[in-house]
Structure 1
Amino acid sequence: MTEITFRRATADDAAAIAALRVDSWRTTYRGVMPDAYLDGMRAEESTTMWSQVLLADVPTVCVCVAEAGDEIVGFASGMMLNPEKLGFDAELTAIYLKPIAQRGGVGRRLLAMIADAMQRQGASGLMVWVIAANQAARKFYEELGAELLVEQPFTWDGLELTEAGYGWRDLALLQQSCSK
Structure 2
Amino acid sequence: MHNFRIATHNDIETIANLHALSWQNSYRGMLTDDYLDNHVLADRIQVWTQKINEPPAHQIILLKEIDNSVVGFVCAYGSSTDNFGTFIDNLHVLPSFKGKGIGRDLMKEVSNWSLQHFNQPKLYLKVLEDNHAARFFYEKVGGVKQADFSEIMPGGKSVNVCRYVWQKFKS
TM-score under structure 1 normalisation? 0.84
Distance 1:45-1:37 versus aligned 2 partners, 3 A rule: closer
Aligned to 1:96: 92
- Residues 119 and 56 from structure 1, CA distance in 2 versus in 1: closer, same or farther, beyond 3 angstroms? farther
| Alpha-carbon spacing, 1:136–1:44, altered in 2? closer, same or farther (3 Å) | same
Distance 2:19 2:101 in 1: 19
Q: Which moved further from structure 2: 130-139 or 70-79?
A: 70-79
1:32 corresponding residue in structure 2: 30
Match in the other structure for 1:146: 143
The Cα offsets for residues 95-121 of structure 1, whole Å up to 9 and x where unpaired, read as: 111122211111111111111112222
Aligned partner of residue 100 in structure 1, secondary structure: helix
Specify whether residues 70 and 124 from structure 1 end up closer, same or farther in structure 2 by C-alpha distance, changes over 3 A only: closer
- DSSP 3-state at the match of 2:89: strand
Following superposition, which runs of at least 4 residues in structure 1 exceed 6 angstroms of deviation?
none
RMSD between superposed Cα atoms in Å: 1.9
CA distance in 1, matches of 2:39, 2:29: 15
Give 2:123's match in structure 1, choosing from 121, 126, 130: 126
Post-superposition shift, 1:53?
A: 2.3
Distance 1:67 1:119, change over 3 A: same
Q: Conserved in 1, the CA contact under 8 Å of 2:9 and 2:49?
A: yes
Matches for 1:18-167 after TM superposition, within 5 Å: 18-56=16-54, 58-81=56-79, 84=82, 87-122=83-118, 123-157=120-154, 158-167=156-165
Q: By how many angstroms is 1:37 displaced?
A: 1.9
Aligned mates of 2:49, 2:123 — CA distance in 1 = 24
1:168 match: 166
> Contact 1:65/1:72 (CA < 8 Å) preserved in 2?
yes
Aligned pairs, how many? Answer: 169
Unaligned runs of 5+ in 2: none
* Conserved 8 A contact 2:79-2:114: no
Give the Cα–Cα distance (whole angstroms) in 2 for the partners of residues 148 and 64 of structure 1.
25
What is the DSSP-based 3-state SS (H/G/I as helix, E as strand, rest coil) of the residue aligned with 2:100? coil
Which TM-score applies when normalising by structure 2?
0.88
Q: Is the Cα–Cα contact under 8 Å of residues 15 and 44 in structure 1 kept in the other structure?
A: no
Shift of 1:152: 1.4
Query: For residues 136-174 of structure 1, what are the alpha-carbon distances to aligned partners after superposition, in whole Å with 9 as ceiling and x for unaligned?
Result: 11111111111111111222242121000000112xxx1
Match of 1:88, SS state, is coil
Letter of the structure 2 residue corresponding to residue 119 of structure 1: L
Unaligned segments of structure 1, at least 5 residues:
none
